[in-house]
Chains A and B, each alone.
Chain A
Amino acid sequence: MSSTETVERHLQGRYKHGFFTDIEADALPPGLNEDVIRAISARKREPEWLLEWRLRAYRKFLKMTEPHWAHLDIEPIDFQAISYYSAPKSDKDRPKSLDEVDPKLLETYDKLGVPLHERAKLAGVAVDAVFDSVSVGTTFKKELEKAGVIFCSFAEAAREHPELVRKYLGTVVPQHDNYFAALNSAVFSDGSFVYVPKGVRCPMELSTYFRINAAETGQFERTLVIADEGSYVSYLEGCTAPMRDENQLHAAVVELVALEGAEIKYSTVQNWYPGDEEGKGGIYNFVTKRGDCRGDRSRISWTQVETGSAITWKYPSCVLRGDDTVGEFYSVALTNNYQQADTGTKMIHLGKNTRSKIISKGISAGHGQNAYRGLVKVGKQAENARNFTQCDSMLIGKRCGAHTFPYIEVQNPTAKVEHEATTSRIGEDQLFYCLQRGIGEEDAVSMIVDGFCKQVFRELPMEFAVEAKALLEISLEGAVG
């Protein structure tokens, strides 16, 4: 079934169930035009300037064409067939308790070791049936307030802190940056906003998961994280457990701004629906993520574990604008069955004495296609820039692919840029050794894969790392033998 058909099927389904009655009035009919954008903005009670901003982005979007340069096989997307706004599901649509949830899903949670009370929330059980998470969220919120950290939904930030949003929105990822960023700028549904004041070390890891109302930010997420001078924040996005999601196309934009001496650590675990074993369905994840090391001595680090989505297309990047800034990118991308990924990073060295490090691990199994695409650019004024890139690929099976497209552009002779890459498979001898020691084949594979990914997992916050490891094991089930 094609993607548009899938979208249509869902859309028709909604009509059939009366999504357009007065009670469920908070959904827009499919289609994209200025009225739809005005309607989204109105529903979010946005200030006038933000609506104007969206409309400007839309006009730019209209003049752009869909890109096709990635090593991806994408079925055509009908942008007019998508509904650009649907309110969070009302409780009566949700499963009433875990008994109504697909047992297969629960089995996965079990393997991942997800705590009981979280399972309900992840499976989309109505929030009032979930006992603990609300109170956990509220406790955290109080502590953040004490530190002066602003952590709220994007729509709330636009109303409560317009001066901050206006100052930074679109300064890292301009509206016309690329086709999907322009689309996002026009129709973004919601997302997170973080501001860490000067000199504050955020007292806890911020996670979208603990933010109340974050459960359904919609398909066009917009995130803005600002770390003011000398501050530190670690932000976790996504979740290891499969999330209930009915949107086919996700086009998120994430902007990070690190001012002088600030540090932002952004970790993502993405495990959206990858489609079935035949490659039918699944989410298109076309994301623009970029961090701007705007102040001197600032530091941005991206860590990602990408195991979900039918198609992943994202390049979390760092613009090393200030002097002595540091950019890092650690990635594990896994494609199994018919999944495709074209992912990597861009490190743009502009300031003096800037450093960047890229560690990318790609794993392909089944019919999966996994591409690393990266850019390291050293500008003319970027004295003493240093980059080290390592991208390794592992192939499991005969029908998958692993590809590497590193772009290196150097305009300054004091730069030191190193790139190395290897492609390998799980060796017969490695497997044989494990089997001989009484370790089963699947365990052996996950052990070898875990070793392969170690450099990246080390960068994840502790509990995330444990989950990520379990997640890889599950994603690889049935890939061997």
Chain B
Amino acid sequence: MNAPATTLAQRIGEQLAREPAENGLPRWARELAARDRARFLDHGLPHRRLEAWKYTPLDARPAPGEAQSPVDGFDAGEGVLVRLVNGAPQELPAGLPEGVRLRTIADELAEAPEDLRAALESIDTESPADVMTALNNADLGGGLVLRVARDVDAGQLVLCWRDTAQAPALANARVLVWLEEGARLDLVEDFAPGRALNVVQQFHLAPGSRLRHARLQAGLDASWLVTRTEVSQAGHSVFEQASLDIGDGLARHDLGVRLAGSGAACTALGAYLPGGEAHVDHHLDVRHEATDCHSTQTFRGVLQDRGRAVFNGRVHVLPGADGSEAHQSNKNLLLSHDAEVDTKPELVIEADEVVASHGATVGALDDKAVFYLRSRGIGEPEARRMLTGAFCREVIEAIGIDAARDAFLARLESHLEVRP
């Protein structure tokens, strides 16, 4: 049995006290870190009594493992690759296209631009439900800032997240992206944590910009990956996110999107296949604040062994956001007696010219479909694999970034080979 989780919270507390991340930080950042360190020490890890963490109480989980990540990673192909080890970016690539600036957050903090300060201070961490963000603020210093100038296509950036044996009890990192008007970026992330990683990402999309974001999560047994992605979208910007969760550990993803400008569009796709003791939790909160915005959430889950999946998709259409269109779908295949799905597709609608729909299903594979395939001479395991694969491929095939789509499909196939 692992050490009790209270010890983890204590260990994180000690870690924060031992390595004050304040060196070289401007005064406001030091104050932010100090305030949020106090908040973390006060609240501790998220627990069951918090609605947002009801099904994923970190305080009751076995403490994260201490394994070392595999070295291999996503083939960046023509893109630019940045390796982040224990949350800290390694050597930054040279020769980026003109108009693309990639720096460590530490370098940016030294200059302390106003927009960085505004971004870091913009997430309210007062509630105990936001304690993981408070923890991230308390440990500022690891992470990246990417800025793409007007009408520049930044191409593909791959972030490869890995842990080593020297990693702290829980590593924190921050990723901030600013896309100016008409700018484009394809961001691919390859997460394979061996221990615990807490990443907060903030994406700012100016009018007409486009960010496509693909994430692969293949955490090791007993690892923790907690990510929070906050996106603010100006008019006619496009944000597309796709995630594939095939890890063996715990993964919690929060996606918050503000459709703040008229005509903005956001798509979130996800496939998750927890088996073994894996636990995947997707929390989405899409706010339609302006007129004529579109949002789509499509998530597919396949659960095996003692796998557990949580889906909480919320669409909030604010007063005045007429012409909004929002669709949500979450379907799950439950393939084991010990697995569990908890899904909650929420709609909060406060405008009347709205088209909104959501659907959620939980069930097993269709026996008739399995029988059909068997009657065509396909063995049962193969038939099940085909049907399960098709169920998830529907989502993965919709990924816009070609390289990510192909790589994710390959990973999905090999995952299904191991766990049919």
Q: Report the separation of the CA atoms of residues A407 and B320 in the bound assembly, to the nearest whole angstrom.
A: 28
> B361, A403: Cβ atoms under 8 Å?
no
> A421, B359: Cβ atoms under 8 Å?
yes
Interface string of B275-309 (1 = CB under 8 A from A): 00000000000000000000000000000000000
Interface footprint category on A: 35 or more
Task: List B71-86 residues whose CB lies under 8 Å from chain A.
Answer: none
> A406, B361: Cβ atoms under 8 Å?
no
Q: Report the separation of the CA atoms of residues A405 and B346 in the bound assembly, to the nearest whole angstrom.
A: 5
The answer to whether B362 has its CB under 8 Å from any CB of chain A is yes
With A413-B336, A413-B337, A417-B361 as given contacts, are A396 and B345 in contact (CB-CB < 8 Å)?
no
The answer to whether A423 has its CB under 8 Å from any CB of chain B is yes
* Complex contacts, B378 vs chain A, CB 8 Å: none
> B341, A423: Cβ atoms under 8 Å?
no
* Complex contacts, B332 vs chain A, CB 8 Å: 410
The answer to whether A400 has its CB under 8 Å from any CB of chain B is yes
Chain A's nearest CB lies how many Å from the CB of B176?
32
* Complex contacts, B358 vs chain A, CB 8 Å: 404, 419-421
With A69-B51, A398-B352, A425-B352 as given contacts, are A412 and B359 in contact (CB-CB < 8 Å)?
no
Q: Report the separation of the CA atoms of residues A395 and B361 in the bound assembly, to the nearest whole angstrom.
A: 26
With A395-B349, A397-B352, A401-B348 as given contacts, are A408 and B340 in contact (CB-CB < 8 Å)?
no
> A415, B363: Cβ atoms under 8 Å?
yes
The answer to whether B123 has its CB under 8 Å from any CB of chain A is no
Contact of B347 among A407, A411, A421 (CB under 8 A): A421
Task: List A356-401 residues whose CB lies under 8 Å from chain B.
Answer: 378, 380, 393, 395-401
* Complex contacts, B5 vs chain A, CB 8 Å: none
> B339, A413: Cβ atoms under 8 Å?
yes
Chain B's nearest CB lies how many Å from the CB of A121?
40
* Complex contacts, A5 vs chain B, CB 8 Å: none
Chain A's nearest CB lies how many Å from the CB of B140?
33
With A406-B360, A413-B364, A415-B334 as given contacts, are A423 and B354 in contact (CB-CB < 8 Å)?
yes
The answer to whether A251 has its CB under 8 Å from any CB of chain B is no
* Complex contacts, B352 vs chain A, CB 8 Å: 395-398, 400, 425
* Complex contacts, B346 vs chain A, CB 8 Å: 403-406
The answer to whether A402 has its CB under 8 Å from any CB of chain B is yes
* Complex contacts, A416 vs chain B, CB 8 Å: 361-364
Q: Report the separation of the CA atoms of residues A411 and B362 in the bound assembly, to the nearest whole angstrom.
A: 10
Q: Report the separation of the CA atoms of residues A405 and B328 in the bound assembly, to the nearest whole angstrom.
A: 13
With A401-B350, A403-B347, A413-B364 as given contacts, are A419 and B359 in contact (CB-CB < 8 Å)?
yes
* Interface size counted on chain B using CB atoms at 8 A: 35
Task: List B91-139 residues whose CB lies under 8 Å from chain A.
Answer: none
Q: Report the separation of the CA atoms of residues A399 and B363 in the bound assembly, to the nearest whole angstrom.
A: 38
* Complex contacts, A420 vs chain B, CB 8 Å: 357-360
Q: Report the separation of the CA atoms of residues A98 and B361 in the bound assembly, to the nearest whole angstrom.
A: 55
Give the nearest-CB partner of A383 in chain B. B337
The answer to whether B226 has its CB under 8 Å from any CB of chain A is no
Q: Report the separation of the CA atoms of residues A401 and B352 in the bound assembly, to the nearest whole angstrom.
A: 8
Q: Report the separation of the CA atoms of residues A406 and B334 in the bound assembly, to the nearest whole angstrom.
A: 19
With A395-B352, A413-B364, A416-B362 as given contacts, are A421 and B344 in contact (CB-CB < 8 Å)?
no
The answer to whether B151 has its CB under 8 Å from any CB of chain A is no
Task: List B343-383 residues whose CB lies under 8 Å from chain A.
Answer: 343-364
The answer to whether A133 has its CB under 8 Å from any CB of chain B is no
* Complex contacts, A446 vs chain B, CB 8 Å: none
Which one of B335, B339, B355, B356 has the highest number of Cβ atoms from chain A below 10 Å of its Cβ? Answer: B356
Q: Report the separation of the CA atoms of residues A117 and B362 in the bound assembly, to the nearest whole angstrom.
A: 52
* Complex contacts, A396 vs chain B, CB 8 Å: 352
* Complex contacts, B359 vs chain A, CB 8 Å: 418-421
The answer to whether A414 has its CB under 8 Å from any CB of chain B is yes
The answer to whether B70 has its CB under 8 Å from any CB of chain A is no
> B344, A407: Cβ atoms under 8 Å?
yes
> A413, B344: Cβ atoms under 8 Å?
no
Contact of B357 among A402, A406, A412, A422 (CB under 8 A): A422
* Complex contacts, A410 vs chain B, CB 8 Å: 332, 334, 340-342, 362
Query: Which B positions have Cβ atoms within 8 angstroms of A?
Result: 51, 319-320, 322, 332, 334-337, 339-364
Query: Which A positions have Cβ atoms within 8 angstroms of B?
Result: 69, 71, 378, 380, 393, 395-425
Top 4 A-B pairs, shortest CB-CB distance: A395-B352, A423-B356, A413-B334, A417-B362
10 A-B pairs whose Cβ atoms sit less than 8 Å apart in the complex? A395-B351, A403-B349, A406-B345, A408-B360, A410-B332, A413-B337, A418-B363, A419-B360, A423-B349, A423-B356
Known A413-B336, A419-B361; further 14 A-B contacts with Cβ < 8 A: A404-B345, A404-B346, A404-B358, A408-B360, A409-B340, A412-B334, A413-B335, A413-B339, A415-B334, A417-B363, A418-B361, A421-B345, A421-B347, A425-B353
